[in-house]
């Protein structure tokens, strides 16, 4: 290799490592990382995907989905977030406008136009402020964010709205970040606004390999990694567990699959089907560690030191 090409390669590697936010070619420990979070998901936690299924429909992020999940004892709620043309944050999964009977993107609707629709003709759409206000009546709940567009803009809006409703609500927010360098944005937000409950690196928008996932989690103190059923593998879960990182899997609705994932070391599952929890409990292959009744966190491990 020529000197020039060698320098080019080194520069490319340097740029890659800078973007990724991990140490490359250095024996010095990293000087930056996420702060330590004492919160830990209880074993066999269920996270209500898109606020949970309701009336045979998933992805609604609706008032009825929220109320159904809360009525069943759900404590961990994941919500899809996008902006309207007015710049307001609303609870909606992008590219699901057909369920509103619309071809126009929600990002091109005013907030009032958006809220005037019904998901699948039946379910009440809500903005993020309404969601936060509802959850203030349920102080044992936690909110997992899924920002569908600009991550930083979305999370800044989350913090602004939530803080205006209840100043301590930030401690119940669990942000998911999607790209390896976005841990820096999360760290900055915690410095400016206070600690989140915990932080999740979700893999569905990244192509980095398992080695890089483990390296990032170890060096930047990422407490939780979420992976899809397709991305799941027992080796990755075991390697993350070895460094004190919990794994979650999305989206799992079949009881037999729930059992299988938890039996292979997964800490919790995103699901649309809270109603199937009892079915899991009574299945012959029910796994030791599933708590009785809906996952309310009574069997939580002690806080991390």
Q: Is residue 294 situated within a structural domain?
A: no
Domain coverage including residue 221: 44-248
Positions of the chain with pLDDT under 50: 1-16, 18-23, 25-31, 284-285, 291-305
How much is the pLDDT for 285? Answer: 46
How much is the pLDDT for 255? Answer: 87
Q: Is residue 237 situated within a structural domain?
A: yes
Residue of 208, 128, 49, 233 whose CA lies nearest to 222? 208
| Helix and strand element counts for the chain (H, E) | 10, 11
Q: How far apart are CA 53 and CA 72, in angstroms?
A: 12
What sign does the CA torsion over 218, 221, 224, 226 have? negative
How many domains, the chain? 1
Is 269 in contact with 250 (CB distance < 8 Å)? Answer: yes
Q: Is residue 123 situated within a structural domain?
A: yes
pLDDT tens across 79-116, in order? 999 999 999 999 999 999 999 999 999 999 999 999 99
How much is the pLDDT for 276? Answer: 76
Q: Is residue 58 situated within a structural domain?
A: yes
How much is the pLDDT for 5? Answer: 45
How much is the pLDDT for 32? Answer: 85
How much is the pLDDT for 281? Answer: 58
Q: How far apart are CA 79 and CA 92, in angstroms?
A: 8
Q: Is residue 179 situated within a structural domain?
A: yes
Q: Is residue 214 situated within a structural domain?
A: yes
Q: Is residue 1 situated within a structural domain?
A: no
- Return the CATH number at 128: 3.20.20.190
Q: Is residue 278 situated within a structural domain?
A: no
Hey, is 96 helix, strand or coil? coil
pLDDT tens across 3-12, in order? 444 444 444 4
How much is the pLDDT for 282? Answer: 58
How much is the pLDDT for 288? Answer: 53
How much is the pLDDT for 274? Answer: 80
């Amino acid at each position: 290799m020529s000197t020039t090409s060698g320098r080019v390669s080194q520069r490319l590697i340097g740029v890659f490592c800078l973007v990724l936010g991990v140490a490359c070619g250095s024996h010095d420990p990293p000087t930056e990382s996420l702060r330590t979070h004492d919160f830990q998901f209880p074993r066999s936690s269920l996270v209500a995907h898109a606020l949970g299924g309701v009336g045979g429909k998933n992805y609604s992020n609706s008032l009825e989905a929220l109320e159904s999940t809360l009525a069943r004892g759900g404590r961990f709620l994941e919500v899809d977030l996008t902006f309207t043309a007015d710049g307001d944050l609303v609870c909606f999964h992008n590219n699901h406008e057909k369920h509103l009977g619309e071809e126009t993107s929600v990002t091109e609707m005013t907030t009032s136009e958006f809220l005037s629709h019904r998901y699948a003709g039946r379910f009440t759409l809500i903005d993020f402020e309404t969601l936060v206000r509802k959850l203030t009546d349920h102080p044992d709940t936690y909110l997992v964010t899924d920002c569908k567009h600009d991550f930083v803009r979305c999370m800044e809006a989350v913090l602004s709205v939530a803080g205006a409703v209840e100043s301590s609500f930030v401690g119940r927010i669990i942000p998911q970040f999607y790209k390896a360098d976005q841990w820096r944005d999360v760290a900055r937000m915690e410095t400016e606004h206070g600690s989140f409950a915990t932080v999740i690196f979700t893999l569905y928008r990244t192509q980095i390999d398992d080695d890089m996932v483990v390296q990032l989690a170890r060096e930047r103190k990422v407490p939780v990694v979420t992976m899809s059923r397709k991305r799941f593998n027992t080796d990755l879960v075991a390697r993350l567990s070895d460094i004190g990182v919990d794994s979650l899997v999305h989206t799992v609705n079949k009881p037999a699959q729930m059992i299988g994932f938890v039996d292979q070391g997964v800490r919790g599952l995103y699901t649309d089907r809270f109603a199937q929890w009892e079915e899991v409990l009574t299945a012959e292959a029910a796994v030791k560690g599933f708590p009785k009744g809906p996952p309310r966190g009574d069997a939580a491990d002690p806080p991390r030191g």
